[in-house]
Chains A and B, each alone.
Chain A
């Protein structure tokens, strides 16, 4: 339902540490998931995606883990840098839902120097 007034949770990490951003989904029919990064005043940018037939996928400094049993998705960022400071959204698409993604509320990542 509506989440008006719900503000984004915040994750603060020290520069150089690893970051883990979590996302829960409710639709067990979802079979495609994406993580986006949104910097202030800009549109979201694609980071990494994963299909439900996979448990893990790695990119450059990022790893996405999918646990279908508990409907949980996580984004791990290795050696977090100041440029990683942004809002991170997960999104999912159900089987047969075409391209229509449903977005999570997002997490604000703050990197402390």
Chain B
């Protein structure tokens, strides 16, 4: 996956529980992104970060939180406030002027 590692590949969450999805990159890219993908649908932007210690909300940020303490890492926490978290989550990175490189995704299921 081009130097982007998402873990775990599958994750199960109980009702009311917070879970954190990991995204690590060794591409030295400044920008990192989190997308959500529901079955049969396109990608929706949750959060993005253009530089360390800074991040912005995307189109569907409610119920999610992120941090960017290191250039290599951009973890996503799905909080209990997210009422419909079951989805495929994709992390991506980007270098200046170029397109995204995606990770292999994490499939989150509420049980």
A interface residues (Cβ-Cβ under 8 A, vs B): 3-4, 6-8, 32, 34, 36, 41-46, 49, 89, 91, 98-101, 103-106
A99 touches B41 (CB 8 A): no
| Interface residues of A, dominant DSSP | loop
Per-residue CB proximity of B96-107 to A under 8 Å, as 1/0? 111111111101
The 7 closest A-B pairs by CB, nearest first: A43-B102, A99-B94, A105-B42, A7-B40, A34-B99, A103-B43, A99-B31
Q: Which of B42, B90, B94, B103 has the most CB of A within 10 A?
A: B42
- Name the distance in Å between B47's Cβ and chain A's nearest Cβ: 12
Question: What chain B residues lie within 8 Å of A8 (beta carbons)?
Answer: 40-42
Contact A104 to B42, CB < 8 A, known contacts A43-B102, A49-B99: yes
With contact pairs A43-B1, A99-B31 given, residues A3 and B105 touching in the complex (Cβ less than 8 Å): no
